[in-house]
Amino acid sequence: MEVLSACMTEAQEDTGMVARFVDGWIFESICTIVIIFNALHIGYAAEYAITHVEEPTNVWVTAGAWFFTVYYILEISLRLIVHRQYFFFVVEWRWNVLDFCLVLGAIYNQVVVFASGDGSGGSSNMLRMLRLLKMVKMLRVVRVMRSFKELRMMLMPIVNSMRSLFWTLCMLTIILYIFGIVFLQGAAALLVDSQSQHVEGFDSFEEEALLEHWGSVGSCMFTLYAAITGGNDWVALAAPLQFAGFHYYAFFVFYTSFLSFAVLNILTGIFVESAMSYSISADDEVAINEYTDPEYVRQLLELITTMDTDESGALSYQEFEKNSGTKILQEWLSRQSISLPEAKSLFWRLTGDGSYEVSINDFVHFVSKMKGNARSSDLQALAYDTKRLSLSMESFCLANNEHFGALEARLSALSSLPVVAGVSPAPLLYTPTLII
């Protein structure tokens, strides 16, 4: 709620023409189109360089590079002017840092090109840095994915699975190292035996193949990796091991079976489960990013302002019911995937069956809760409120039982008194009270 309030405050402060343009969909669409054309320009420049080795650049490649660099500088400057220091602390700060770093890389790229003339001269270190920056520029295409909800939901599980990928590679490296040491020892023993005695069928060709695939720890690990990933036929890789002994060949067959049918399938299942869990959380994060976005908050504030006819700063159920048939409200609810009956039901509960008004902050908060799936924190809050209500009802019932017990005892005592003609009954000395 604090983040939402901060975003609302920031949205209310930045209400100038530049802020509305930068946070609007037109500016975002222009940026997306420019990024797409930039990706096409990078592809054209790479293809031109491979077909014109003697002169790898032309006027279109140079002019396009300068145009896109100037545009990205202008874009990042406008965003910094509008959002100021909040540019690096909002919900999408990771994307903003990536944009900022890419702009710095583009500037450095142009400086390197300018310093080396046409990019073909200069020192070898500078040229290697230039080629690296050209590869990094393709990361800007990833920015296009954040403009589309479906692409972002596909990208986020992939990015979040990098941690699982790292530990998977660590596990594979350990397994490859263990098996590689075993086969390297067998290859070493075979070479020692071939020097002291004749090994039938083990000629210079087989020795060359043995040294190529099993001649070092690195070559053994690479051979084992190629055998399970389709990089080479495992039968050809295992052929030199037959001369070291049948048990090495059988152990290699066991390795391929163990990795192919057990390890890789288990790791694939872990990846799928991780991607499924991240895709669910990605849907919630997309929803959170939408309702904490300044443009979303601004649209919501404008909608509430038009519905608040008495300008009280709060909404009543009558005001909401009166504006429920307007086109602007129906379009807004449709964009947020919220049906009108759901909105009416929520507003009816918030206003206490239509008896009270709802503040703007509460309305924004509860509408945002309707987007995305319920989290564990929401369920814990619901369980806590339910338990607290149960304890309150239990205390209320115990207090009622005590008071009604005292009332029953008093009435029984009064009923046992004799009734004298002409004398009014004794007054009730105890008046029960209900404590909630």
For residue 19, CA distances in Å to 83, 84, 368 come to: 8, 11, 23
* Contact between 284 and 372 (Cβ < 8 Å): yes
Same domain flag for 266 and 172: yes
Same domain flag for 193 and 241: yes
Helices 217-229 and 246-257, interaxial angle, to 10°? 50
pLDDT attached to residue 320: 76
The whole-number average pLDDT for the span 207-221 is 90
Question: Burial code of 275-306, b = ≥16 C-beta within 10 A, e = fewer?
Answer: beebeeebbebbbbbbbbbbbbbbbbeebbee
Higher-scoring residue by pLDDT: 366, 193:
193
Q: Is residue 427 part of a domain?
A: no
Same domain flag for 212 and 173: yes
Q: Please tell me the total count of domains within the chain.
A: 3
pLDDT attached to residue 297: 62
User: With 70 as the cut, is the pLDDT of residue 342 above it?
Assistant: yes
The fraction of the chain above a pLDDT of 90, given in percent, is: 10
DSSP letter, residue 233:
-
pLDDT attached to residue 180: 93
Q: Among 113, 147, 181, identify where a domain stops.
A: 147
The whole-number average pLDDT for the span 202-208 is 81
The whole-number average pLDDT for the span 346-361 is 68
User: With 90 as the cut, is the pLDDT of residue 177 above it?
Assistant: yes
Same domain flag for 138 and 22: yes
Higher-scoring residue by pLDDT: 321, 266:
266
pLDDT attached to residue 8: 40
pLDDT digits over 358-407, tens only? 776 677 666 666 655 566 666 777 787 788 888 888 888 988 888 888 88
Q: How far apart are CA 68 and CA 342, in angstroms?
A: 46
DSSP letter, residue 354:
T
Same domain flag for 66 and 176: no
Q: Minimum mean pLDDT among 20-24, 260-264, 348-352, 394-398: which range?
A: 348-352
pLDDT attached to residue 246: 87
Higher-scoring residue by pLDDT: 133, 312:
312
Structure confidence at residue 306 as a pLDDT band (50, 70, 90) = confident
Higher-scoring residue by pLDDT: 189, 316:
189
CATH of residue 333's domain is 1.10.238
Q: Distance from first CA to last CA of the chain, Å, rounded?
A: 30
Q: How far apart are CA 417 and CA 304, in angstroms?
A: 67
Question: For the whole model, what pTM was predicted?
Answer: 0.54
Same domain flag for 83 and 167: no
pLDDT digits over 59-116, tens only? 888 898 889 889 989 988 888 888 887 778 766 777 788 788 888 877 877 777 777 6
Q: Among 115, 147, 179, identify where a domain stops.
A: 147
Higher-scoring residue by pLDDT: 393, 302:
393
Structure confidence at residue 147 as a pLDDT band (50, 70, 90) = low
User: With 80 as the cut, is the pLDDT of residue 296 above it?
Assistant: no
| Contacts of residue 102, Cβ cutoff 8 Å, sequence gap at least 6 | 72, 136, 137, 139, 140
Same domain flag for 116 and 45: yes
pLDDT attached to residue 432: 47
* β-strand partners of 314: 359
Q: Minimum mean pLDDT among 23-37, 171-185, 231-245, 270-284: which range?
A: 270-284
Q: Is residue 394 part of a domain?
A: no
Closest residue by Cα to residue 396 from 347, 424, 435: 435
pLDDT attached to residue 9: 43
Which amino acid, residue 8? Answer: M
Q: Is residue 50 part of a domain?
A: yes
Q: Is residue 253 part of a domain?
A: yes
Same domain flag for 301 and 224: no
| Contacts of residue 416, Cβ cutoff 8 Å, sequence gap at least 6 | none
Widest pairwise Cα distance in the chain: 138
The whole-number average pLDDT for the span 412-434 is 59
User: With 90 as the cut, is the pLDDT of residue 272 above it?
Assistant: no
Which residue's structure tokens are 């800007």? 140
Higher-scoring residue by pLDDT: 197, 191:
191
User: With 90 as the cut, is the pLDDT of residue 254 above it?
Assistant: yes
Give residue 332's domain range.
294-369
pLDDT attached to residue 178: 94
Where is mean pLDDT largest: 91-100, 143-152, 307-316, 394-403? 394-403
Q: Is residue 396 part of a domain?
A: no
pLDDT attached to residue 420: 58
Q: Minimum mean pLDDT among 131-145, 228-242, 317-331: which range?
A: 131-145
